[in-house]
Structure 1
């Protein structure tokens, strides 16, 4: 497929891009260029920095422009299912961003800039289906973050600072090689890889009363000491208000950023 052309051979000119802008029902200007076979970020889009939402998902881009931060009015950015290996530092300039989807790319931990910690308006951040094993320490500043997707990565341990993000209610860490502690009869601890069971963290408020009671009973009945028979104690960390249920949540954690949007063309 020629560079700069979409799935049907349409050249991505400024004129074509403008025709792809829609006004959502809540009055936001959305530019949708999903699944168009784009291999290189179209430079013409940098002339449309007044859009509120930008969807470039399901393309073939390996790199974002260094000045991606010039989209000063963006509140919603969807880049899932590309081939991105890193994110430019200028993304930290998108201070109004509330939703960022970078799932299903080729990101490694060194490809995430420290400037992610500047996105203090973020409510939802999806980093699932990459090759991450750590997160930038600066993300501790994302106090407004409510949902964090880390599924299908390489995390052995979760970042310690997740426990101080007071608004964080959902953390999807399914299909990671998370470690847990194994105690033997002498009370010795050994780190083991968790490969048998998928887990994710969810806030207690997202559980029904029956499931909440069940989880609390299981947590209270967890063995604490050594001696006697060998047993395993699952340990994902102790985050206030977060529990570790499987398939007991009100919301299906496998579904992330699936968003049905009704829109009408701009006249």
Structure 2
């Protein structure tokens, strides 16, 4: 190493200037201002974009971000925040101050239970929450306060039970718990563990007539099989059923 040159501990990545950020501004079909900085090899949150904090949507997905600053709360108008496919292991408490947020995507990061703050339960307008492909063993109980929540993705985590905090959410339509080590109900206490390879929970009103008939027929067959085996599996989420994988086409967006 040359004399006098210091080794930088900062992660390597692309530097984003304000000019570059302004060029990345787009107008969505419904007239929202979106700042799209996805897939740009960004390793450090660009402070310059705080000057564009009046945007409605912010896409920082598919980058190299390891940290999100507290200044994220400057984006007071934000309705849509996409941070999927980064290297985040912690979300700041300031996330709870994004009171207009409707959609939050944190899929495919390094988030553990301690890295997800309880303040996420302050996002009262949140309708879609994607926490798939992390290392979560449980989720904050404060999520029970998200009364507008419609869709939750928790696939590919380390959950060993279905989260109690989701049971009484009035508008919940779908929960994706695919690929979690959730033990079967009739194997409690035995130490047996299985992986849930495909589990979607939806309201009956979300299914067409043919799909609803098929689901009920499959459920009848399963109940019949369980009764023969002298066991009975109770539904964990009132008013919801488990459809086949093709019952809702939009489920492909969670995969």
Match of 1:261 in 2: none
Match of 2:28 in 1: 24
Greater mean alpha carbon deviation, residues 139-148 or residues 195-204: 195-204
1:105 aligns with 2:103: no
CA distance in 2, matches of 1:147, 1:77: 15
Match of 1:214 in 2: 214
Q: What do residues 38-82 of structure 1 show as CA deviations (whole Å, max 9, x unaligned)?
A: 001011112211111000000000100122111111000000000
- How many residues of Structure 1 are paired with residues of Structure 2 in the alignment? 245
8 Å CA contact 1:181, 1:232 repeated in 2: no
TM-score, length basis structure 1: 0.83
CA distance in 1, matches of 2:26, 2:61: 16
8 Å CA contact 2:70, 2:92 repeated in 1: yes
Residue 180 (structure 1) aligned to one of 179, 184, 188: 184
C-alpha deviation, 1:23, in angstroms = 1.7
Match of 1:143 in 2: 147
More helix by share: 2
Q: CA RMSD in A?
A: 2.5
Moved over 4 A (4+): 2-5, 188-191, 223-226, 229-235
8 Å CA contact 2:13, 2:42 repeated in 1: yes
8 Å CA contact 1:32, 1:54 repeated in 2: yes
Query: What 5-or-longer segments of structure 1 have no aligned partner?
Result: 258-267
C-alpha deviation, 1:254, in angstroms = 3.1
8 Å CA contact 1:207, 1:248 repeated in 2: no
Q: Which has the higher contact order (CA 8 A, sep 6+)?
A: 1
More strand by share: 1
Q: What do residues 171-198 of structure 1 show as CA deviations (whole Å, max 9, x unaligned)?
A: 1111111121226xxxx97463223742
Greater mean alpha carbon deviation, residues 109-118 or residues 190-199: 190-199
Match of 1:205 in 2: 205
1:69 aligns with 2:69: no
8 Å CA contact 2:96, 2:122 repeated in 1: yes
Query: What 5-or-longer segments of structure 2 have no aligned partner?
Result: 1-9
CA distance in 2, matches of 1:255, 1:225: 33
TM-score, length basis structure 2: 0.87
Q: Give 1:1-267 correspondences, 5 Å limit.
A: 6=14, 11-182=15-186, 190=190, 192-195=192-195, 197-220=197-220, 222=223, 237-256=235-254
8 Å CA contact 2:153, 2:176 repeated in 1: yes
